[in-house]
Amino acid sequence: MVILFAVLTCITEDEKQDALISEIKRVLKPGGVIYINDFLVNSDERNTKRYNQFVEKYGTYGVFELPEGAVLRHHEESRVSQMTKDFIKETYKTIQFKTMNGHISNGFVYVGKKSADKV
């Protein structure tokens, strides 16, 4: 099993996220499980403003900077589907939780399996 708990939010580029997911798929045994818990894009004014502020700089809607210097990413659900397309989806649900700065944010939980077929 591989657990990614708020890991993808720290990897802002699609290519680097794809490389991580590919490596996870490579090392998981057939039938192995991947668990992802991470952030989704929010539609409130505070988040929309910062997504729009940084979209040109980073080339991806949902990437933003915190005053503390961190660069983070919230994901569109279509991006989550794209990243997990090579796994067999067992569970996907949206959630809300409190961020490290005390804000409420949209998130998701994904549980998938690597195919048991030897490919």
What is the model's pLDDT at position 14? 97
Q: Where are the alpha helices (DSSP H) in 1-119?
A: 14-27, 45-58, 77-83
Please say whether the beta carbons of 84 and 90 come within 8 A. no
Can you give the residue range of the structural domain that contains 75? Answer: 2-113
Structural domains in the chain (count): 1
Listed residue (38, 119, 39) closest to 86, CA to CA: 119
Q: What angle do CA 8, 85, 43 make, to 5 degrees?
A: 50
What is the model's pLDDT at position 118? 59
| pLDDT greater than 70 at residue 112 | yes
Residue at 118 is within a domain: no
pLDDT tens-digit map of 57-90: 999 999 999 999 999 999 999 999 999 999 999 9
Residue 79's domain is classified under what CATH number?
3.40.50.150
For residue 43, the tally of other CB atoms under 10 A from its CB is 9
Residue at 95 is within a domain: yes
